[in-house]
Amino acid sequence: MLLNIFHSIKKINYKELIRDKKIVFAITISLIIFILFIWLIFKFVFSNIEELSPLNSVPTDAALIIDVKQADLLWNDISINSGVWRELTKIDPFTKINKDINILDSVFKLNKNTSKILADHSVYISFHALPDKSTGILYMTALAGRFEKTEVENIIKQMPCSGLKISERLFMGTGISELQLKNRNEKFTYTISNDIFICSFQPSLVDAAVKQQKTGITLAKNADFVKISGTAGKKVNANIYINFKYFPILFSTLIKDSYSKIICELSDFASWSAFDLSIKKDAILFNGFTKTEDNQSNFLGLFSEQEPQETSLSKILPSSSASFICYSFSNFDLWYKSYNTFLKQKGKYSARNTAIAKLNAKYKTDTEKNITGLIGNELALVITEPSDSNKNVNMFAVIKTKNIANAISILSSQSLLLEQKTIKSLKKIKKAKEIKGKNVKGKKTKEKGNIKVLNRKSSILEVKEVRSKAMNLPKSEKIYEYKNPGILPLLFGNLFSGVDGKYYSIIEDYIVFGNSVNELKSFLKSYSDEKTLRNNNGYINFSKNISPKSNIYLYCNLKKSLGLFANYLNNDVLSYLEKNKSFFKNYDGFSCQYKTDGVFFYNNICFKINNPVLDESNALWTLNLDSTVLYSPQIIADLSDKSKKIIAFDNTYNIYLINNNGSLRIIILFCGTPWQKTSPLP
């Protein structure tokens, strides 16, 4: 065997082996060179294309970015087809914006190169909060090939508002041009850097864009932005990106200083949103996705494990509702556990827990457990159209319960415990004999100051009950005083800071907490009269643009919220709003919804103008009869109580007697036709 192996080795042709090795070596070297060549192409060609994207020039502190795909086509679409934009152009500053864009549009159409730029390249518009609490806007687009700066200057000089003098300055080695505008105390600043045209009316933003190019720290390297931008539509008019780290700061520039801090805290809401713009005749729609940070440090992320729910809130809310925001849960206990973890991450849990502990010790009850034990799958803040100078009287917290019977028991039991403690405290201070324990157990009800000593033989639900008879409410609709004001904002944050919840009532399987007896009375009256959002023609028409299911749903009726805005907007914005109040009444509403899809949150925003709908009744009350009214209703004198009432007949010959509050009593069922001087209704 060894001899055979040795014999085989002797037969090897070493010259051929050496030649084959040379071929293999040559192929290997060729492959290495080819791979290196491909790498160089990607490095210096494709990466250069990425570097030339205007997006890489957008300063990373941008709060809002609009990527306009084809600016000329979008402008034509908006100006011709959008009723929303036509309404906006009736007031400043949109009148001026519309005029300026028309001027630019006409100038660009005269130049073939600029027309090609707008047709082939996106225009990026970014919005920034400036140090002086104003808003700065930056415009950018990629140029088609080598575009001479002199050609840009010639185009700009064609603008009717431009001056004759263009000054030059250097910033980080890049030439920046500034043009003083006629009759305007501002400069138009622009530059061409890395074949990107950058311009703004705020010179500092142009400088920031140039600096952004030099540093290389761009949004294209932001992991959350890259992920969310991948969801943006390609064949759409425009994409809109919201950076939640800075957007609340931008929005806070419109708000009174006393509320700015609260608004800025919304930077924890999410990370990035991306929307596709859709323009309709009577609405502007934004549809897209929102991303939260992977470490669950955003409020929206608390809903990531909650299935979207179909809210039934509109069936009880008054048609006079100005706005509401509703949280929907598939598992509230899981959400609340995540919420507590979120508060710990933000350093807010300890102070909140201490405040709750003090409240529990004060009233010897587990307030947190009692309130959270009520909540089923909906928790909402509701604000009705203001009817009082006090901004909080028309605010309500609405809870859809897991089990209404259990909720009634919890609330009444807790109220009773709180009432007992209040009485005992009064004993210690005044040592009043009439409110000793033996009298509390008596049959009579006594009052001392603002404290009621309750009849223990009465129903447990009559703890501090505001009698429905005095409220002109149906007997089944009662209002109770809840002796733990302020617990709702303590448990659920600043959103509910306007709801002390001193009073509450029950509607179906909902508990409604309010600050005012009169406003809560109006809330209940709207429900009993069926004047709810679900029956409101305007809301029915508006809701066709929204999703039936969500995790968070914000709705705002703009014309009914004008009085509400006055409490929060700064003086400049408020003055502008007052000046254009009649205009804003032409807008139907605004809504924003979020619902999880397992990875991101689907997000839709609707901004809609009024459509002709059936007029809403302004009657103090309405009444449904069993059949069609036969004759015109008549006013008669009721001799029994010397009051005036309304009498009406229907086609089945029922007689209805109605008092001035809308209370109904059926008198009799006739066998024949009633006689009346007036003719039957047509």
User: What mean pLDDT do residues 423-440 have?
Assistant: 42
Distance between CA 488 and CA 493 in Å, rounded?
8
Least confident of 80-94, 119-133, 575-589: 80-94
Q: Which of 651, 655, 620 is nearest to 636 (CA)?
A: 655
Cβ burial, residue 303 (10 Å; 0-12/13-18/19+):
buried
Written in H, E and C, the secondary structure of 287-314 is EEEEECCCCCCCCHHHHCCCCCEECCHH
pLDDT, one tens digit per residue, over 620-634 is: 566 666 667 777 788
* Chain centre to alpha carbon of residue 472: 36
Q: What is the mean pLDDT of residues 478-499?
A: 86
What are the tokens at 315?
């069936």
- Which pLDDT score is estimated for 225? 93
Which pLDDT band holds residue 654 (cuts at 50, 70, 90)?
confident
* Token pair belonging to 125: 């518009």
Determine the 3-state secondary structure of 388 from DSSP: coil
**Residue 643 pLDDT more than 70?**
yes
Across 339-468, the runs of DSSP E, i.e. the strands, are 375-384, 395-401, 446-448, 451-453, 465-466
Which of 160-174, 188-202, 593-607, 616-630 is least confident? 616-630
442-459 average pLDDT score: 33
For the ranges 6-20, 75-89, 296-310, the one whose mean pLDDT is highest: 296-310
- Kindly list the distances between the CA atom of residue 509 and the CA atoms of 156, 315, 336, 375, 528, in Å, as whole numbers in the listed order: 64, 11, 21, 11, 15
First to last CA, the chain: 122
Better-predicted residue by pLDDT, 674 or 332: 332
DSSP secondary structure letter of residue 44: I
Confidence of residue 423 (pLDDT cuts 50, 70, 90): very low
Instruction: Count other C-beta atoms under 10 Å from residue 378's C-beta.
Output: 21
SS3 per-residue string spanning 341-356:
HHHHHCCCHHHHHHHH
Round to whole Å and give the CA distance between 222 and 508: 48
Which pLDDT tens digit goes with each residue over 305-341? 999 999 999 999 999 999 999 999 999 999 999 999 9
Axis-axis angle for helices 94-110, 71-81 (nearest 10): 130
Say whether pLDDT at 602 is over 70.
yes
What are the residue ranges spanned by the domains of the chain?
Answer: 2-48, 55-221, 299-535, 623-682
* Closest residue by Cα to residue 564 from 546, 590, 543, 538: 590
Tell me how far the alpha carbon of residue 658 is from its chain's centroid: 43
Under 8 Å CB-to-CB from 523, ≥6 apart: which residues?
318, 384, 396, 505, 512, 514
Closest by CA position to 326, among listed 399, 232, 422: 399
**Six-digit token pair at 46?**
């494709």
Whether 662 shows a pLDDT value over 60: the answer reads yes
Query: pTM here?
Result: 0.75
- Arithmetic mean of pLDDT, 588-596: 92
Q: Which two tokens stand for residue 278?
A: 């859709």
